[in-house]
Structure 1
Amino acid sequence: MDLAHGGGNFEQRAALRPPPVVLIPGLAMSFYVWLNLFTTIPYPGKIGLDYNTLGTDWMVFYGAIRSVLDGNAPLIFDGDRFTDFLNTTFAGWLSSPLEFRPWAYPPGFLLILLPFAPLGFFGSYVAFQIVTGALMVVALRASAGTSLSSRALLMVALACPASAINAIDGQAVFLVAALIVGGFGLLEQRPYLAGLVLGLLTFKPQFCILVPIALVAAGQWRALLTAGLSALAMMIASGLIFGWDLWLRWFPVILENLVSPNPKWTEYGRMWGHSVYTCAVLLGAPERLASLIQLLATLGAAVSVVIAFRSRLGTREKTAVFLAATVLAAPHSGPYDATLLVIATAFWLMAREAPLPLWCWTLAFMIWLVPMLSPPLLFPVGRIAPLLPVLLMALLLRPGVSALPGER
Structure 2
Amino acid sequence: MGIDFFQNADWLNRERIRRYLAIFAALNVGTLALLVATAHDGIDRNGFLIGSDFLSFWTVGHMLLGQNPAAVYNTVAHVLAQREFYVQEGTYTAFFYPPSFLLFCYPFGFLSYFPALITWIGATGLAWLWTVRQWLKVFSLTPSVWLLALAFPPSLITITHGQTSFLIAALLGYGTLKVRERPAIAGICFGLATIKPQFGVLIPLVLVLTGEWRVILVAGATAIAMALAAALAFGPETWLAWMAISENAQAAMTNGAVGFAKMQSPLAAARLLGMPVTVAYAAQIVIVGGVVLALVRACWQQTYNLSLGAAMLAGAPLTTPFVLDYDLTILVFPLIALAANPTHRPWEKIIIAAAFAAPAFSRPLAIYIGIPIMPLVLIALFTIAARRAITERTSMATAPV
User: TM class, shorter-chain normalised?
Assistant: 0.7 to 0.9
Residue 92 of structure 2 aligns to a residue in which SS? coil
Give runs of aligned pairs for residues 330-369 of structure 1, distance below 5 A: 330-353=320-343, 360-361=349-350, 363-365=352-354, 367-369=356-358
Per-residue deviation at 1:56?
Answer: 1.2
Per-residue deviation at 1:67?
Answer: 0.8
Residue 271 and residue 72 in structure 1: after superposition, are their counterparts in 2 closer, same or farther (change >3 A)? Answer: farther
Give runs of aligned pairs for residues 234-273 of structure 1, distance below 5 A: 234-255=226-247, 257-258=249-250, 261-262=251-252, 266-268=256-258, 272-273=262-263
Asked if 1:216 corresponds to 2:208, the answer is yes
Residue 36 and residue 394 in structure 1: after superposition, are their counterparts in 2 closer, same or farther (change >3 A)? Answer: farther
Residue 32 and residue 294 in structure 1: after superposition, are their counterparts in 2 closer, same or farther (change >3 A)? Answer: farther
Q: Which runs of 5+ in 2 are unaligned?
A: 1-11, 394-401
Match of 1:296 in 2: 286
One-letter amino acid of the counterpart of residue 348, structure 1: L
Asked if 1:57 corresponds to 2:53, the answer is yes
Match of 1:4 in 2: none
In 2, Cα distance between equivalents of 1:397 and 1:118: 45
Per-residue deviation at 1:372?
Answer: 2.6
Q: Say how many residue pairs are matched.
A: 380
- The match for 1:156 among 125, 148, 162 is 148
C-alpha offsets along residues 235-258 of structure 1, whole Å, 9 cap, x if unaligned?
000011111110121123225654
C-alpha offsets along residues 374-395 of structure 1, whole Å, 9 cap, x if unaligned?
1554143650210112111211
Residue 172 and residue 304 in structure 1: after superposition, are their counterparts in 2 closer, same or farther (change >3 A)? Answer: farther
In 2, Cα distance between equivalents of 1:110 and 1:389: 31
In 2, Cα distance between equivalents of 1:150 and 1:56: 35
Contact 1:313–1:402 (8 Å) recurs in 2: no
Match of 1:105 in 2: 97
In 1, Cα distance between equivalents of 2:180 and 2:359: 32
Q: Which runs of 5+ in 1 are unaligned?
A: 1-13, 404-408
Match of 1:206 in 2: 198
In 2, Cα distance between equivalents of 1:349 and 1:263: 34
Match of 1:386 in 2: 375
Deviates more, 1:174-183 or 1:35-44: 35-44
Match of 1:114 in 2: 106
Residue 398 of structure 1 aligns to a residue in which SS? helix
One-letter amino acid of the counterpart of residue 211, structure 2: G
In 2, Cα distance between equivalents of 1:21 and 1:141: 20
How much is the aligned-residue C-alpha RMSD, in angstroms?
Answer: 3.1
Match of 2:62 in 1: 66
C-alpha offsets along residues 176-224 of structure 1, whole Å, 9 cap, x if unaligned?
1111111011100221221111111110121122221121122111111
In 2, Cα distance between equivalents of 1:222 and 1:29: 44
Match of 2:5 in 1: none
Residue 379 and residue 77 in structure 1: after superposition, are their counterparts in 2 closer, same or farther (change >3 A)? Answer: same
TM-score computed with the length of structure 1 as normaliser: 0.82
One-letter amino acid of the counterpart of residue 166, structure 1: T
Residue 301 and residue 41 in structure 1: after superposition, are their counterparts in 2 closer, same or farther (change >3 A)? Answer: farther
C-alpha offsets along residues 337-394 of structure 1, whole Å, 9 cap, x if unaligned?
222224322221112338x989715641453232333155414365021011211121
In 1, Cα distance between equivalents of 2:301 and 2:133: 24
